[in-house]
Amino acid sequence: MMNKWDIPGSTEKPTVNKDTETLRSDLLTLNMGPQHPATHGVLRVEIKTDSEVVAAAIPHLGYLHRCMEKHCENLDYRGVIPFVDRLDYLASMSMEWTYVAAVEKMLGTEVPRRAELLRIMTVELQRIASHLMAFGTYALDLGAFSPFLYAFDEREKILRLFEEVSGARLLYNYIWIGGVWNDWDDAQLTRVSEFLDAFEPETRKYHTLVSTNKIFIERTANVGVVSIQDCLDYGATGPVLRGSGFKWDLRKNQPYSLYSEFDFDIPVGDGEHGVVGDCWNRYIVRMREVGESIKIVRQVLEKLEPGSIMGKVPKIIKLPKGEVYVRQECPRGELGIHLISEGNDSKEPYRLKVKSPCFTHTSMLPLMAPGQMVADFVATIGSIDIVLGEVDR
């Protein structure tokens, strides 16, 4: 066990208990980050260790802070969209839709059915791409490199489709107020269907490669356990909440858009390995959600009919005085947009506040860390799948 008097150059003396004349160890403070080894973002976690055991963890945020919410007060309502793109930059379609839905709710805009279906299709493809990133980087966290390559190969196919319809691979500016910027032609929709047919068998390979891998299970089962009550106390949502066994998904429990027309399930942690609420169960929820997103996209392809992709929206958008809060189910949890307009012919939001699921989950690290080995704490950080662009804003 290392004590601070063992550190080269330290002049501090060991503490001696006069009654027993034995040395009492002190905690060693270490910094993880701000560059996380597996690229979850510029997060710095100050950890206090007793040998290999983590006694406490303190997240330090702000390394990616860009004043996004303040900038939005000086942009017109359309100009905000590229800024929300950069929140969770691995799920930009979901970020756009939540913000746009808030504006549309205040504006009273009717979105054409085809545009709504295309929105659902794109955000579910985005969910698959996001979970593939989570799968690949999580395996990388724990020392496995091959899953990362498999995941990125499939994710690349989705990004190519997004690039065709939006012109961008990561930050899309595709979902606009009133609809979507560009339609998907028949050839592109056929390629989506072909991708799903080829990709679904690949997901079963991932389970063989990682989910049921003995080493992976030992690294993740019974590690970083959080109960349902812990999740509710902290306000956790998405796969973190469902990994603890709580069946809650806004697409099912409070359907928005056309989700009430779709048949899909809500995967939850079931303790197949380890215990409900541990790293393995959070991981498996995401993997099973990929299968549910495949089902949803296939149903969209069946329902699509010719039609308009943009509703009637004023050339210059001015919202009436008031405020609205809209939340949607994004890959990492519930994203909330609180939008306030002061009216008076203002073309900019008076205030835009983002409720970030990743911020909430990062706040749970001090709860999850004590008693873990340092290596297990790396697994815990990976299991909550945070993106610091959304945490810091």
Confidence class of residue 142 from pLDDT cuts 50, 70 and 90? confident
Task: Reply yes or no on whether the pLDDT at 207 is more than 80.
Answer: yes
Which has more pLDDT, 374 or 35? 374
The pLDDT, as a whole number, for residue 24 is: 55
Provide the Cα torsion 42, 43, 44, 47; round to 10°.
-150
Torsions phi, psi for 382 (to 5 deg)? -65, -30
Please give the Cα distance from 239 to 276 (Å, whole number).
12
Structure tokens at 4: 């601070």
Please give the Cα distance from 347 to 78 (Å, whole number).
9
In tens, the pLDDT along 252-271 reads 999 998 999 999 999 998 88
Burial class (CB in 10 A: 0-12, 13-18, 19+), 88: buried
The pLDDT, as a whole number, for residue 193 is: 94
Which is it for strands 175-176 and 53-60: parallel, antiparallel or unpaired?
Answer: unpaired
Out of 8-12, 132-136, 258-262, 316-320, which region has the weakest mean confidence (pLDDT)? 8-12
For the chain, the structural domain boundaries read 68-346
Please give the Cα distance from 362 to 367 (Å, whole number).
10
Task: Reply yes or no on whether the pLDDT at 9 is more than 60.
Answer: no
Task: Reply yes or no on whether the pLDDT at 70 is more than 60.
Answer: yes
Confidence class of residue 190 from pLDDT cuts 50, 70 and 90? very high
Residues contacting 380, CB < 8 A, separation 6+: 223, 224, 279, 365, 368, 369, 372
| Pair 125, 181: CB distance under 8 Å | no
| Pair 294, 156: CB distance under 8 Å | no
Please give the Cα distance from 89 to 27 (Å, whole number).
37
Average of pLDDT values for 364-392? 89
Task: Reply yes or no on whether the pLDDT at 130 is more than 80.
Answer: yes
Structure tokens at 390: 């959304």
| Pair 87, 98: CB distance under 8 Å | no
Torsion sign, CA atoms 312, 111, 355, 59: negative
CATH class of residue range 68-346? mainly alpha
Q: 357-372 in b/e burial notation, b at 16+ Cβ within 10 A?
A: bbbbbbebbeebbeeb
Task: Reply yes or no on whether the pLDDT at 5 is more than 50.
Answer: no
Q: 246-262 in b/e burial notation, b at 16+ Cβ within 10 A?
A: bebbbbeeeebbbbeeb
Crossing angle, helix 186-206 and helix 146-166, to 10 degrees?
A: 170
In tens, the pLDDT along 323-332 reads 999 999 999 9
Looking at every residue in the chain, the average pLDDT score rounds to: 88
Looking at residue 63, what DSSP letter applies?
T
Cis ω for the linkage preceding 331 (within 30 of 0): no
C-beta neighbour count of 298 within 10 angstroms: 18
Task: Reply yes or no on whether the pLDDT at 392 is more than 50.
Answer: yes
Confidence class of residue 22 from pLDDT cuts 50, 70 and 90? low
Torsion sign, CA atoms 174, 180, 181, 185: positive
Q: How much is the CA Rg of the chain, to the nearest whole Å?
A: 23
Out of 17-21, 124-128, 164-168, 286-290, which region has the weakest mean confidence (pLDDT)? 17-21
